[in-house]
Structure 1
Amino acid sequence: MHKTLHSPQHQRLVAWLKKARCDQGLTMRDLAAKLGVPHSFVGKVEQCERRLDVIEFVTYCEALGVNPIDGINQLMK
C-alpha cells in the first residue's frame, strides 16, 4: 500500500472540504475556532500536509455542516 497523503483521492477530499468552507464564507480561523484547534491545523489539512483520521474527519464535516458520507463519495470517484 502506498502513502496516500498526496494521492489524487486525498486531494479530491481536501478540495471538497475547502470548497465547503469557502462556500460558507468561513476563513481558516473561523473553522479552526469551531473545531477548537489552531488555524494552522486547518491550513495543514488544506495544503495536504496533514491527514485527518476518521473521527477528526467526521468532526471537521460537522463543523462545516456537511455530510461525511458525501466526502467519502469523493474518494470513490
Structure 2
Amino acid sequence: MASPIFSEDYRIMIDILVATRRRAGVSQRSLAARLGKSQSHINMIEQRQRRVELREFYLMCKSLGADPVAVFQEITEALEQQRQAA
C-alpha cells in the first residue's frame, strides 16, 4: 500500500498549508520557532516527507494567525474540486 503522504489529496493539503504560511509572511524558520520545532521539521512537512497530525495542523494554523476551521474548509473545497474534475 502506498504511503498517504504521496497521495494527491495530501499534496493538496500541504500546498494549502504552505500557501497559508506564505500569505502570513512567515518563513519556515519562524514557524518552526513558534512551534518549538526545527526548520528541517517544517521543511520535511512541506516536502511531504513527514505527516501532519491533527494537533500539529491546529497549532500550525494558530501560529500563522489563521483560523484552522477556515484552512480546513479551503482544503475541503480543493479536494471536492479535484474529485469533480476527475
Normalised to the residue count of structure 2, the TM-score between the two structures is: 0.78
Q: Which has the higher contact order (CA 8 A, sep 6+)?
A: 1
Task: Report the identity percentage.
Answer: 29
Q: CA RMSD in A?
A: 1.7
Give the paired residue count.
77
Distance 1:67 1:13 in 2: 15
Partner of residue 49, structure 1: 49
Unaligned runs of 5+ in 1: none
Q: Which runs of 5+ in 2 are unaligned?
A: 81-86
Taking the aligned partners of 1:25 and 1:57, their CA distance within structure 2 comes to 18
Deviations 1:12-59 (A, max 9, x none): 110111011111211110111111100001100000000011111111
More helix per residue: 2
Higher Cα Rg, which structure: 2
Decide whether aligned partners of structure 1 residues 3 and 72 sit closer, same or farther in structure 2, where only a CA change above 3 A counts: farther
TM-score normalised by the chain length of structure 1:
0.86
Indicate conservation of the 8 Å contact 1:57/1:68, yes or no.
Answer: yes
CA contact (8 A) 2:24 2:65 kept: no
